[in-house]
Structure 1
């Protein structure tokens, strides 16, 4: 049901409800109801009838009477003047007998029907737009972040559909970057979307999903691109055939380039599970070489790559509401990084400077796959998903310091398998639920560093030529639960009982090599860590009839057990805890356009295996760490409040939120930083705290008269945590302010302009140092990023664009300001439709970029060797 109204404080509120029928007493869905003071006055409120013909409109007005008009295509408009008080109406529409002669139909830019918000693609499209991502970036209320993830009103979308089907299982950038905009009619936002049909009336959802509506019922298309360039020899190639029907969908792609385009972004998985029962099979990088941090601009500026990507995504509807999906991808990439880093470590007693020149080669080989069987009906739900992933990655690096050259070599293979099953089945008036999640991962990593480091700890202060860290890890988990869901009027209860087991192993060894004599150190791990959890969850939900109130209270009770056994040092640890982790959420519709929500929760985090080992592990050439302490225990309190406003009539969207997190920990982490920048990380048993305050504001507005979308956002966060730095206890405080904005404006029929800008301030300070030491602000950095592009349309089939970029920071002594200029020209051949594009990037031939950032107790200034000025000509066509 769609409830839309405008309210003014101090006015008397009236509620107008009713039902709309046709001449045969059948309910009419989608009829428009408009309320004003008289037939010529401005609209006070409006609504749209739902699938049962009902409408419910609240409004505030001082007028004694109201003028109501009901319209529906093909029927005579119904109008009536009523008294301004709560009323219930029954409206019967009759077919229109008028002959339509000349009719001018203006497509609606943004249309609201119930919980579905539709954006007309043609209204936002201009001559330069080619794929649907170009449109989504412009839509008010929607944000596409640099990695490709889509947010609506400040929250990530939970599902991405094409014609109602979830083909890509979270890897939706593949569709965004390849689906031709000419094939799409609408982009729909499904607000409060419950993707499981059997739960639709039982469990409300505060998340939104996105659906792509195509122009044709059967769409067979594809895109292809080939390109060549100079400085040095450059190439790119891409072919992506696609098919979309009611029973079958497929996207297949092969891509390759050495132009710096990171095609791996198209297969990033943005899916997430809100149940909280998931174990991750994401790749864990225990060991690494020292890398340059990524700069804050497009990778085409700096990434030296040679990449190949193949991906097959196929969906077949076996029978009604039963889908079989296959998602496969293989990525092969060779990357080179060159640059330098100056790191300044701040401790309560000293400032330590480290300068490194870096030359890295990174080799990526990744195979990822998902096989999914899903049945989604109003009576039953079944989803079984099998994942198989394998990584064969390796890296090598060269670090040049003032007096030494350090060689690094890393082999980093990783494999994972997981099967997830979820079943929901109606049994009488109850809904029976079952979940199962079982998986296994294995890693065998090897890091070789020459010359050896940490002589004082590892080799009695004597230098040695080489150190080798060998690390093998395995991870097995299973989580199974069963429950029921039952509706009791406006209430729903969902008790669930389950049991999980997780077993993790670490086998690690440190070897020293001097004059080809390999010696084993005492720093090794033979760790077994087993956790079990017997839990009972109960969720209470309430939804009012008019959907103005939604409440959820979760009351999980868990008996957790942790057993740690290290046979190398004969250490055994065991703890058992009975924990209660309640979570409360309530959402209130203040008006048709305005809603608010608050949430509060308590949860317990216990030590992960990454924070439990007792023998030192060399994680990279200048980080040696261990956690020779009890099992970590952390108690977290989280509070959040959100206010959101969205008005399709005014094309205005706004959201604001505040969150507070307080964490109490039993372990404090000690960082001992030496003069050469080497850091020894250990854990000590000491109660401590950390807290954070976070404020967010997001707003966007579409100005239809000038075809312009304006987006603004602001974030301010304050965090504080206790640290032990070089033997001194100190509270480290961080403040971060970030302001960003974007503009997409159609200045005229021959000119459009886009702008993106970010301004941020990051500040770090020491407080309450023990023993008494100088405290206060130790570092503040201000950064700016601004990009402007202008597109000049010379004719219907050609345009050229020019753009500039500026990056600046307040800390760098040299090259604190960086500028880039780009140019491109595109000509479109109509038959066949082929785009010829010539792009000239980095016209100023800026060969170095300086980026600066700070974290809790260090300042890092990175210099990147950039790609030279380059020209690439490409042909793009559809088939």
Structure 2
């Protein structure tokens, strides 16, 4: 409490140092709060001495600019009359009313800007960034400055992942927004809005600030209130090896209206394209916890290639999403999807375990694996989101029937592989927030989760392992928030119970281990927000009780956090965050029962109630000028971790064994990320340059000796899109990856690798014809591996309602890809078998 009082005192001093503050509320004649009203301080000559805008609830706060004095305060808003008041007549905390006023406008000709900003919302006209070859809205988002679309579909703004993806202001998909971004026809979209610092919970706006942005897709009039759909079918054959038939198809139905929205889709392919990511939770809306999963489907090492180059799949995906709005504040949402996937993989691998005694161990593997995924997910959500209350209840369920089969030549010995990593869970999450008079609010949250992970594993020596993991999680919390002298004070209290149990039956043991954790906590916080400055500080104190097979431990834990944001002007902002996190080891790390995690790996944990602690500092700068089409961001992160258990490793009787040594170490991680992008009017040229540097210093146990390791990873990337002529367009993307691992120990050889990737796509589009030439080139400083070049050709005839064409992939028939990989305690040389040359005819029809 002394720390909290000191922090509160410092916060008040900072606020007072900003100068005399004038605050109040603005409303119309009916008493309704006015958002976005302009508030100005004027000096004795009538010139501006300070500027602000009213918040969602009509409240405002304004101070004179440094070195300027004010004599009057003025309120104005479009559609209302202007009000000017001498400061001697102004009363802090009072409500000021603006009268409605009509204006007669002269007829003018307007040429819209391709981007404009109002408050925290930046609007981009899709027509200004769209190029002729673009099909989905994701294709255009990649060309907008400040927006980045990752290969897995996740969208970020100014370097931070978005927290919402709205369609016409409605949250149809939650975190599964790739389903919309990859499938909504760009011709149906009018504008893209970026909602900066977006707080999705309306009752928390102006109280809990967010560093994340949201996207809102604004459709054209002819895409609203009408069912629309797409049917696409492709068929072809491979042209190398034994030959096989390939397909790619989708059936899509969509409806967007004010009271209801829906997207339902059936997709199928066996051409290597990953469609499972379209139903992944990219926004992490449903916070997951450590479920203790130890077994996974056989997954061979992925090369640094587009997944469509090396994946031999047979995938079917069914997804349906429905959102109903009985009124403007209420959502009823249903989501369900089913994935059926069969994937074959082939590769050769030579792996060196640098921490295995004596002097590292190298094994060779020739692997052929078949993996099957049969996964079902569903969610039912009720949400009330108004200015006075927020109620959300989400019920989710998941079940799968996954398994893998494989054959491996392990050090010249033929070994069968078989694993069944099953998972089931149900989860219910309730959250209630009620706004009270006088800027007070109260909240209650609770969550109940039960998961069961049964598994089977065949070992390389012919024995097997059975595993059953049970998880029960319950938590509940409540808070009361009130406002004092312009500062919000929040008092949170909560409790959490976690029970994990695992049953293990393998050649080493047949036993049951149980881990329990119960904690109660108090987390007071203070927050302040003005037009340009935001700060929130929290200090969470927990009383924790943990139990592990007879052991018991009580701990008192303090975890402070700090978040600050300052907007220097309308273009530049900076953030500073500090997090001190205490992380108790779950059962997967705490248990000392020997557990096989794959057919040749054995792990034995610490056998004690341990924990780690992280101290993280994050600092970022943002520049965004949508009118000029220029954005930039740079992020600095430092993470210091203490309490990392060290493992002794060995290789014996065909098994790589890792056992906790009883010693702990620290690790330091430094990360710098940066990105700058610019959109130019000439030829709709857009350019983005990005880079990152990652320093990671950690320890490994080598022959019972703690050995420091330094890992360095850097990337540089360039993206360019150019549409100089109506019939010509080009997209270029290049990147280089630097990897270096070094140690002062003579037992570890220092290694440095550089990998380069270049991608150039050229589009020739005379009339309704479209010819695409897609080129990829990969090379490295490693002379022991080969360079790779890929070329695909696609020709099509395209109208607004249908498209027909032919695609030829991997024209030059590249059949394998070699690569060296450096990880924390392994080094590997891999060779992946690639998809053969193929030809595919396709037809697409949209309604």
- Which TM-score band (shorter chain)? 0.7 to 0.9
Aligned residue for 1:292, secondary structure, equals coil
User: 2:64 and 2:589 mapped to 1: Cα distance?
Assistant: 55
Distance 1:265 1:812, change over 3 A: farther
Q: Which residue of 1 aligns with 2:436?
A: 427
Q: Which residue of 2 aligns with 1:543?
A: 529
Among candidates 147, 151, 174, match of residue 142 of structure 1: 147
User: 1:385 and 1:729 mapped to 2: Cα distance?
Assistant: 47
Among candidates 470, 483, 490, match of residue 486 of structure 2: 490
Q: Which residue of 1 aligns with 2:740?
A: 763
User: 1:837 and 1:46 mapped to 2: Cα distance?
Assistant: 57
Among candidates 746, 749, 758, match of residue 786 of structure 1: 758
Matched, 1:255 2:281: no
Distance 1:834 1:32, change over 3 A: farther
Matched, 1:709 2:716: no
Distance 1:56 1:827, change over 3 A: farther
Q: Which residue of 1 aligns with 2:537?
A: 553
User: 1:20 and 1:384 mapped to 2: Cα distance?
Assistant: 34
Matched, 1:529 2:541: no
1:458-516 deviation per Cα after TM superposition (whole angstroms, max 9, x unaligned)? xxxxxxxx110110110001001111122234211111111111101010011xxxxxx
Aligned residue for 2:394, secondary structure, equals strand
Among candidates 310, 320, 327, match of residue 318 of structure 2: 310
Among candidates 809, 819, 833, match of residue 865 of structure 1: 833
Aligned residue for 1:344, secondary structure, equals strand
Tell me the CA shift for residue 195 of structure 1.
0.7
Between stretches 205-214 and 782-791, larger displacement belongs to 205-214
User: 1:751 and 1:18 mapped to 2: Cα distance?
Assistant: 56
User: 1:289 and 1:312 mapped to 2: Cα distance?
Assistant: 26
Q: Which residue of 2 aligns with 1:591?
A: 569
Q: Which residue of 1 aligns with 2:236?
A: 229
Aligned residue for 1:582, secondary structure, equals strand
Among candidates 652, 655, 660, match of residue 638 of structure 2: 660
Q: Which residue of 2 aligns with 1:209?
A: 214
Q: Which residue of 1 aligns with 2:250?
A: 238
Tell me the CA shift for residue 524 of structure 1.
3.0
Q: Which residue of 1 aligns with 2:279?
A: 267
Matched, 1:110 2:125: no
Distance 1:794 1:291, change over 3 A: same
Matched, 1:342 2:350: yes
User: 2:247 and 2:571 mapped to 1: Cα distance?
Assistant: 50
Distance 1:31 1:826, change over 3 A: farther
Q: Which residue of 2 aligns with 1:513?
A: none
Q: Which residue of 1 aligns with 2:398?
A: 389
1:529-568 deviation per Cα after TM superposition (whole angstroms, max 9, x unaligned)? 1100111111210113xx2111110110001111011xxx
Give the TM-score of the pair, scaled to structure 1.
0.84
Matched, 1:798 2:779: no
Q: Which residue of 2 aligns with 1:578?
A: 556
User: 1:723 and 1:305 mapped to 2: Cα distance?
Assistant: 38
User: 1:31 and 1:534 mapped to 2: Cα distance?
Assistant: 44
Tell me the CA shift for residue 55 of structure 1.
12
Q: How do 1:346-365 and structure 2 match up within 5 A? A: 346-347=354-355, 350-365=359-374
Q: Which residue of 2 aligns with 1:499?
A: 495
Q: Which residue of 2 aligns with 1:742?
A: 719
User: 1:53 and 1:172 mapped to 2: Cα distance?
Assistant: 34
User: 1:601 and 1:696 mapped to 2: Cα distance?
Assistant: 19
The answer on whether the counterparts of 1:289 and 1:620 sit within 8 Å (CA) in structure 2 is no
Tell me the CA shift for residue 801 of structure 1.
1.2
The CA RMSD over aligned residues, in Å, is 3.6
1:244-275 deviation per Cα after TM superposition (whole angstroms, max 9, x unaligned)? 1001000000111111111101001123369x
The answer on whether the counterparts of 2:79 and 2:100 sit within 8 Å (CA) in structure 1 is no
The answer on whether the counterparts of 1:291 and 1:358 sit within 8 Å (CA) in structure 2 is no
1:363-400 deviation per Cα after TM superposition (whole angstroms, max 9, x unaligned)? 00000011000001111110000001001100011111
Tell me the CA shift for residue 20 of structure 1.
13
Q: How do 1:117-516 and structure 2 match up within 5 A? A: 117-216=122-221, 217-231=224-238, 232-272=244-284, 278=287, 280=289, 285-288=293-296, 291-347=299-355, 350-429=359-438, 430-450=440-460, 452=461, 466-510=462-506
Among candidates 616, 624, 649, match of residue 638 of structure 1: 616
User: 1:56 and 1:777 mapped to 2: Cα distance?
Assistant: 61
Distance 1:595 1:404, change over 3 A: same
User: 1:442 and 1:346 mapped to 2: Cα distance?
Assistant: 35
User: 2:716 and 2:799 mapped to 1: Cα distance?
Assistant: 42
Between stretches 556-565 and 844-853, larger displacement belongs to 844-853
The answer on whether the counterparts of 2:80 and 2:98 sit within 8 Å (CA) in structure 1 is no
The answer on whether the counterparts of 1:316 and 1:324 sit within 8 Å (CA) in structure 2 is yes
User: 1:21 and 1:666 mapped to 2: Cα distance?
Assistant: 56
Tell me the CA shift for residue 186 of structure 1.
0.9
The answer on whether the counterparts of 1:161 and 1:211 sit within 8 Å (CA) in structure 2 is yes
Aligned residue for 1:122, secondary structure, equals helix
Aligned residue for 2:524, secondary structure, equals strand
Matched, 1:850 2:818: yes
Between stretches 694-703 and 340-349, larger displacement belongs to 340-349
Distance 1:245 1:58, change over 3 A: farther
The answer on whether the counterparts of 2:324 and 2:331 sit within 8 Å (CA) in structure 1 is yes
Unaligned runs of 5+ in 1: 1-12, 35-44, 63-69, 77-89, 453-465, 511-520, 566-571
1:128-165 deviation per Cα after TM superposition (whole angstroms, max 9, x unaligned)? 11211111111110111111111111111111111111
1:189-215 deviation per Cα after TM superposition (whole angstroms, max 9, x unaligned)? 111111111111322222211111111
User: 1:558 and 1:75 mapped to 2: Cα distance?
Assistant: 51
Tell me the CA shift for residue 727 of structure 1.
2.8
Q: Which residue of 1 aligns with 2:782?
A: 811
User: 2:717 and 2:339 mapped to 1: Cα distance?
Assistant: 33
The answer on whether the counterparts of 2:51 and 2:62 sit within 8 Å (CA) in structure 1 is no
User: 1:480 and 1:658 mapped to 2: Cα distance?
Assistant: 34
Aligned residue for 1:139, secondary structure, equals coil
The answer on whether the counterparts of 2:514 and 2:587 sit within 8 Å (CA) in structure 1 is no
Aligned residue for 1:845, secondary structure, equals coil
User: 2:674 and 2:185 mapped to 1: Cα distance?
Assistant: 32
Distance 1:194 1:71, change over 3 A: closer
Matched, 1:615 2:593: yes
